[in-house]
């Protein structure tokens, strides 16, 4: 089965008698409904509703939860959690010895967690321990993410710059609209119920290899004529991910305007599993 070690990810364990209640009142996902054997996308938001940290959360015993997060964000994440701790019976542990492994395609190994950002049929899983030999390359993982419209901070968007809707967390169980309050909840709930989400993750297909974002060119715009409709994120060959304004893309398609990135003609599509479309029937509308 294809698998690889994600050396840029780390585990922060949140444990204690109040851990579940603490997280339930803080992050976007419904911690109370989290099931053993799943890693669910979630985020800690700014008070303005934008993603401050994106990560995967899973249960690890009776009172413990594992947060699978970017390694370069781990220290800041723990500091932010500590600010909210007050007198709660909760602790935060850096699991430096835990290896984060991602795999897909066949039966998952014992102890693996289903990665809920992906359609179930893909069989994508996470494992936080020694596992099968890492026989896949990072490019294989990026191609898989791109194919299924799974965006991650750093590669596809900057933290504190996007709302959960922008990266499809409302479609993957990363946001719960029925649980109680959490940081940034009012803004996210208003976007949902008013149907005002206008930025979404789209897959990009090009007629030539797409450029990769770099330090000298951190933002590559997708243009309809001379007007920007979004920004390119991860790329692998002729495919990539982007966060786009769905209304602007819809207008461009209606007008027959050519879409390009760095002069390369491209086509855009919203992930089929999302149920969204560029024709206005669901691109920003609230779920029924």
Could you tell me the pTM of the whole model?
0.94
In a domain, 205, yes or no: yes
78 with 184, same domain: the answer is no
Greater model confidence, 139 or 107? 139
Confidence of residue 192 (pLDDT cuts 50, 70, 90): very high
Residue 280 has pLDDT above 90, yes or no: no
Residues ≥6 apart with Cβ < 8 Å to 139: 236
In a domain, 94, yes or no: yes
In a domain, 156, yes or no: no
In a domain, 288, yes or no: no
User: How is residue 285 annotated by DSSP?
Assistant: P
Residue 181 has pLDDT above 80, yes or no: yes
Range of the domain at 256: 166-274
- Please give the average per-residue pLDDT across 161-180, as a whole number: 97
Neighbours of 28 (CB within 10 A): 29
Tell me the chain's radius of gyration from C-alpha atoms. 19
119 with 241, same domain: the answer is no
The burial class, CB within 10 Å (0-12 / 13-18 / 19+), for 62 is exposed
19 with 134, same domain: the answer is yes
86 with 214, same domain: the answer is no
35 with 135, same domain: the answer is yes
The number of domains in the chain is 2
User: How is residue 166 annotated by DSSP?
Assistant: G
Per-residue pLDDT tens digits for 52-100: 999 999 999 899 999 999 999 999 999 999 999 999 999 999 999 999 9
In a domain, 286, yes or no: no
Confidence of residue 286 (pLDDT cuts 50, 70, 90): very low
22 with 140, same domain: the answer is yes
Per-residue pLDDT tens digits for 217-255: 557 999 999 999 999 999 999 999 999 999 999 999 999
193 with 142, same domain: the answer is no
In a domain, 127, yes or no: yes
Give the pair of three-digit tokens for residue 152: 């991650």
111 with 170, same domain: the answer is no
61 with 176, same domain: the answer is no
Confidence of residue 134 (pLDDT cuts 50, 70, 90): confident
User: Which residue, 116, 150, 184, sits at the end of a domain?
Assistant: 150
pLDDT score, position 284: 42
Residue 196, domain CATH? 2.40.30
In a domain, 155, yes or no: no
In a domain, 78, yes or no: yes
Residue 125, domain CATH? 3.30.70.1400
pLDDT score, position 285: 39
Per-residue pLDDT tens digits for 198-222: 999 999 999 999 998 764 555 799 9
125 with 24, same domain: the answer is yes
- The C-alpha atoms of residue 142 and residue 43 are separated, in whole angstroms, by 21
Neighbours of 18 (CB within 10 A): 18
Half-sphere exposure of 216 (CA within 13 A, CB side): 1
Per-residue pLDDT tens digits for 117-131: 999 999 999 999 877
* CA separation, residue 238 to residues 97, 211, 242, 257 (Å): 36, 9, 13, 20
């Amino acid at each position: 089965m294809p698998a690889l070690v994600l050396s840029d990810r780390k585990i922060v364990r949140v444990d204690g008698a109040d851990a579940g209640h603490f997280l339930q009142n803080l992050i976007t996902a419904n911690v109370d409904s989290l099931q053993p054997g799943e890693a669910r996308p979630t985020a800690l938001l700014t008070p303005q509703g934008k993603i401050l940290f994106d990560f995967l959360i899973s249960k690890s015993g009776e009172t413990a939860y594992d947060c699978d997060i970017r390694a370069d964000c781990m220290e800041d994440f723990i500091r932010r959690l500590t600010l909210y701790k007050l007198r709660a019976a909760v602790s935060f542990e850096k699991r430096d010895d835990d290896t984060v492994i991602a795999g897909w395609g066949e039966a998952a190994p014992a102890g693996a967690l289903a990665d809920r950002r992906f359609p179930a049929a893909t069989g994508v899983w996470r494992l936080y321990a020694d596992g099968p030999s890492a026989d896949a390359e990072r490019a294989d993982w990026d191609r898989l993410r791109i194919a299924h419209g799974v965006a991650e901070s750093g590669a596809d968007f900057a933290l504190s710059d996007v709302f959960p809707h922008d990266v499809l967390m409302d479609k993957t169980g990363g946001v719960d609209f029925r649980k109680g309050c959490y940081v940034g909840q009012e803004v996210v709930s208003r976007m949902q119920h008013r149907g005002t989400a206008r930025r979404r993750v789209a897959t990009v297909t090009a007629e030539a290899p797409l450029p990769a974002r770099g330090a000298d060119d951190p933002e590559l715009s997708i243009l309809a004529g001379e007007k920007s409709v979004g920004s390119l994120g991860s790329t692998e060959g002729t495919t990539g991910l982007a966060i786009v304004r769905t209304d602007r893309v819809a207008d461009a398609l209606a007008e027959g305007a050519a879409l390009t990135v760095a002069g390369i003609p491209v086509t855009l599509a919203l992930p089929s599993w999302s149920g969204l479309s560029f024709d206005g029937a669901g691109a920003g509308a609230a779920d029924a």
